[in-house]
């Protein structure tokens, strides 16, 4: 065997050992070409819209996984390689921080959700003004859908509302449970139920879909716990979210990419003035900017 070939084999062996011995990359170190983002079902459509905007500005693509907050949380606890997790609640991102999966300051609020009750206008000669009468009428004509309160924050909010209206026990034999709020809305649109508690963001009113047969009742926020939607950057390294690069004009792409990780930059975009101002168009209230980074005791934006 020639000396040259022997040298090549030796170097190749050394390189293989070095590569095999290298630990798995963290979210901070992985390629910035593509971000893996996990999102609760209710926020999937607006996230896709904002992710496309982000990609146009930065050149960073996003791969989006949609499921219930509870399912995604469980996957992250078992090592799922999502760079950013957008939950429909605050509890699960906080739980990730408390269990050491992510840094405590990598949990931030990005939006506040709103609950709605959808029904078919054709079922009524006169639509009741009171939510309780509306729900009772839907129950008398069939079943009412809600997301699983144990998995989906919108389901938990719906349970709060039904308890506040003293209807939760009456609904036991008239309810259909969806694994997430998107499936719950699908039960309604496929005529399997007469009414459903869903995210306001999914309704025709917000989506600008012309459907005179679907009525929407925006549930008063006083009837349920605030639906604070928080995200977690999947890293044990403290996120660098201040200053927000997207609030600086003009936006300096090269400087931004050299200063912070892609996942940090993506979250900065979601928290930017531009995106927060657009949340109302998608049926959400903005997160309070003065409390973007901080402890769980957040003061919420009021409707």
Average pLDDT over residues 120-141: 89
pLDDT confidence band for 254 (50 / 70 / 90)? confident
Domains recognised in the chain with CATH numbers: 34-113+226-291 (3.40.190.10), 115-218 (3.40.190.10)
The two tokens of residue 226 are: 């605030």
Q: Quote the pLDDT of residue 3.
A: 52
Kindly report the three-state secondary structure assignment for every residue of 83-151: CEEECCCCHHHHHHHHCCCCCHHHEEEEEEECEEEEEEHHHCCCCCCCHHHHHHHHHHHCCEEEECCCC
Average pLDDT over residues 139-149: 95
Residue with tokens 């084999």: 9
Express each pLDDT in 206-242 by its tens digit. 877 777 889 999 999 999 999 999 999 999 999 999 9
Express each pLDDT in 280-291 by its tens digit. 999 999 997 434
Express each pLDDT in 83-118 by its tens digit. 999 999 999 999 999 999 999 999 999 999 999 999
The two tokens of residue 96 are: 């990730």
Q: What is the pTM of this model?
A: 0.78
Q: Quote the pLDDT of residue 32.
A: 59
Q: Quote the pLDDT of residue 22.
A: 36
Q: Are 158 and 146 in contact (CB under 8 A)?
A: yes
Is residue 5 over pLDDT 50?
Answer: no
Q: Quote the pLDDT of residue 17.
A: 38
In sequence order, the 6+-apart residues with CB closer than 8 A to the CB of 85 are 37, 38, 39, 72, 73, 76, 93, 96, 231, 232, 234
Is residue 55 over pLDDT 60?
Answer: yes
């Amino acid at each position: 065997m020639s000396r040259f070939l022997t040298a090549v084999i030796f170097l190749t062996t050394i390189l293989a050992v070095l590569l095999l011995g290298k630990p798995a990359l963290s979210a901070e170190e992985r390629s910035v070409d593509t971000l893996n983002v996990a999102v609760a079902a209710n926020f999937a459509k607006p996230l896709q819209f904002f992710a496309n905007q982000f990609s146009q500005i930065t050149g960073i693509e996003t791969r989006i996984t949609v499921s219930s907050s509870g399912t995604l949380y469980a996957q992250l606890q078992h090592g799922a390689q999502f760079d950013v997790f957008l939950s429909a609640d605050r509890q699960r991102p906080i739980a990730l921080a408390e269990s050491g999966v992510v840094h405590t300051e990598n949990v931030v609020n990005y939006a506040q959700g709103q609950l709605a009750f959808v029904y078919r206008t054709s079922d009524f000669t006169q639509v009741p003004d009171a939510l309780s009468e509306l729900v009772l009428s839907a129950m008398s004509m069939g079943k009412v859908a809600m997301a699983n309160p144990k998995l989906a924050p919108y389901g938990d909010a719906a349970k709060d509302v039904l308890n506040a209206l003293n209807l939760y026990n009456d609904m036991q034999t008239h309810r259909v449970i969806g694994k997430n709020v998107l499936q719950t809305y699908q039960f309604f649109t496929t005529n399997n139920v007469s009414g459903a508690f869903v995210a306001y963001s999914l309704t025709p009113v917000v989506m600008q879909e012309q459907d005179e047969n679907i009525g929407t009742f925006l549930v008063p926020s006083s009837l349920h716990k605030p639906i604070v939607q928080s995200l977690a950057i999947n890293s044990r390294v403290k996120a660098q979210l201040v200053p927000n690069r997207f609030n600086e004009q003009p936006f300096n792409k090269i400087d931004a990419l050299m200063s912070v990780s892609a996942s940090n930059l993506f979250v900065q975009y979601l928290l930017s003035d531009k995106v927060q101002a657009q949340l109302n168009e998608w049926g959400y209230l903005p997160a309070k900017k003065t409390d973007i980074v901080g402890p769980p005791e957040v003061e919420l934006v009021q409707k």
